[in-house]
Each structure stands twice: as C-alpha cells, then as structure tokens.
C-alpha cells in the first residue's frame, strides 16, 4: 500500500478532508510566528511541505500577500484544498523526494508531518528537502514531535461536520521512538471509526544535526510553548 493509502487508513480526518479543513487552526498565530522569525526582509514566497488542505498556508498568504505553494502526499486533501483555496498552488508530492527547482523565503513543515517519517533515512531525506527549497537567508519552521506525548484523552464534538465522542490513547516504543496513537470516534448515529497513527519522535538535538547537514544554522525553539523549531539557511 502506498504512503498516501496508509495515512488515509490511519486517520479519519485524512479520509474526510472537510473535517480536516474544519478543524485545522486557520487563525493568525502562524503568521505572527513567521513575522517573529523573519525580521530582516519581506516574505515573498512560502512553501508548505505536508500542507494538508492548505488552510494554514492560505492564512499565511493572506497575511503577507506572498506566493504560496503547498505539497502533500494525499491527493484527496490536495483536491479538496485546491477547490477551497484556489489562490494557492497545491501539488501532490512526497516530502522526502519532491524537488520543485525553486527556492522560497520560508519553508513550513507543520502538523507533525515530519513525524510520519518513521526511519532515520526518511527523516534525513525530508530535512534535505527543506534545504533544497529554502533560499540562502531564508527560514524553515518545523512543527513536529520532539518528545512523546503522555497518556490520552476524551472529547465531545458536535457541529455540522461531526458529532461524536472521541477517545485517544498513545503508547511509546523507546527503541524505535515511535508513538502509536489509537483513536476511536463513536458517532452519534452509531457508526464507529478507529484510527491507528504511528509517528516518530525526533529529539531536538538530532533535528538540529539534520538541519545543520541540510545547510541551516541558528536552530532555535519558537512560538507558543516553544512548539516550533526554526532555523536559517546559510
């Protein structure tokens, strides 16, 4: 099965792009973070690797009026996103291997997209993609799992997109650094969906080394609760 197929099986939101887009946080927090990081020049172009439906990218484009390109391995998310956000250029591609023959002022990799790379080789390949597409003096912003999440939780959702009780529980394999999250959606109409997501933790020191190999420097934590890793391309 393809990577796109495995991801779709692992997460209801990937099978239902409308739900994904609805719950994506499209507020101006990301634009504010970009402003905090990029202080020496205008933001003229942004690439979002693992863009999903492009909702975050659309918010950044609106804030800066910049050229905006998004890449995701899942065609269903790209098709939905292109229809919802026609101002964006959204492409189907794998963040480990895609090469656009273009460099950008800012490269984003958010929403734990990097954590779906489950081997050292795949994580390194994604970091090399960051380097290949960030122009000298530009910045990369990465939102990924730097340490394993603890426990699980329950929540209730009730709106036009989904009405369900949602329960999740995560387990941690210290040898592989893979977090397995099992999530059950108990819909009000009696249907049940189950997600099994496998994501890999990349500790900050390791990610710092990979970004350095890819041509970045000044690696630092930024954003709310220092939840993002940022770096500047040499």
Which H, E and C letters describe 84-118, residue by residue? HCCCCEEEECCCCCCCCCCCEEEEEECCCCHHHCC
78: nearest Cα among 133, 131, 144, 20 = 20
128: nearest Cα among 219, 204, 214 = 214
**pLDDT, tens digit, 9 for 90 and up, residues 1-53:** 788 888 888 999 999 999 888 887 656 689 999 999 999 899 999 999 999 99
Does the pTM of the predicted model rise above 0.85?
yes
**Is 3-146+203-233 in CATH node 3.40.50.150?**
yes
Residues of the chain with pLDDT under 50: none
**pLDDT, tens digit, 9 for 90 and up, residues 204-214:** 999 999 999 99
């Amino acid at each position: 099965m393809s990577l796109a197929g495995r991801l779709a099986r692992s997460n209801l939101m990937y099978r239902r792009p409308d739900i994904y887009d609805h719950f994506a946080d499209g507020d101006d927090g990301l634009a504010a973070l970009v402003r905090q990081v990029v202080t020496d020049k205008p933001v003229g172009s942004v690439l979002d690797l693992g863009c999903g439906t492009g909702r975050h990218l659309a918010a950044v484009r609106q804030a800066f009026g910049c050229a905006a390109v998004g890449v995701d391995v899942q065609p269903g998310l790209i098709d939905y996103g292109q229809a919802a956000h026609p101002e964006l250029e959204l492409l189907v591609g794998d963040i480990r291997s895609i090469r656009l023959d273009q460099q950008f002022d800012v490269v984003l990799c958010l929403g734990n997209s990097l954590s779906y790379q489950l081997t050292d080789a795949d994580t390194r390949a994604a970091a090399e993609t960051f380097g290949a597409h960030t122009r000298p003096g530009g910045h990369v912003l990465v939102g990924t799992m730097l340490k394993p999440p603890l426990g699980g939780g329950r929540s209730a959702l009730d709106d036009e997109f989904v009405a369900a009780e949602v329960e999740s529980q995560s387990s941690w394999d210290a040898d592989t650094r893979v977090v397995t999250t099992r999530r059950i959606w108990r819909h009000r109409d009696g249907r049940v969906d189950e997600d099994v997501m496998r994501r890999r933790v990349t500790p900050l020191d390791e990610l710092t080394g990979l970004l350095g190999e890819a041509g970045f420097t000044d690696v630092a934590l930024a954003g709310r609760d220092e939840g993002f890793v940022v770096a500047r391309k040499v």
